[in-house]
Amino acid sequence: MPRKFLRRFLPSASEIRDHWLLRRLGYRLHHPRLWHLNRRSVAGATGLGLFVAFLPVPFQMILAALGALWLRVNLPLAVALIFITNPLTMGPAFYLCYKVGAWLLGSKVVATGKHFQPGIEWLFDQFAVIWQPLVAGSLLTGSVLSLAGYCLVQVLWRAHVRHKRGTLLRIVMDRSERLT
């Protein structure tokens, strides 16, 4: 993963530290691992962000930020990745998690049918039935996607570095041949 590409989209450490709401964290935000763009930090932030994105809880940003502080992985990337489940994708993503959880637990998927009316009332009426499959499916889906994201970043980062080193080696060898 090229650092220049990621740096274009992520805020700098000083922008985050100087934010009026985040100043209260003080020295905890000064740890260099929270801001470095290296293979370990980016892969860990990807895994953390993807896992938290599929948790059916409010305040996912806070969970991702606290997890990044605890694991010492790239903070802005971990928080940014939770927006995979944004208001447009949250419904389909959590429905998929619910179906995975229902399959995992061997329970029947609640039929929506003609009486389904999306809203808070339906959610509160059906919550006792859907919460276990939803949580189980969310944990499984989040774990699988987190592991896949972590491994993918590791592989892509190493491939990029090998390619870059190979290109650099060819340039050096070409220059040395020109000198002789």
pLDDT for the residue numbered 111 = 61
What distance in Å separates the CA atoms of residue 57 and residue 53, rounded to the nearest whole number?
A: 9
pLDDT digits (tens, 9 = 90+) for 72-128: 899 889 999 999 998 888 888 888 898 899 898 888 877 655 555 666 776 677 777
Quote the percentage of the chain above a pLDDT of 70: 72
pLDDT band at residue 154 using 50, 70 and 90 as cut-offs: very high
CA–CA gap between residue 102 and residue 144 (Å, rounded): 17
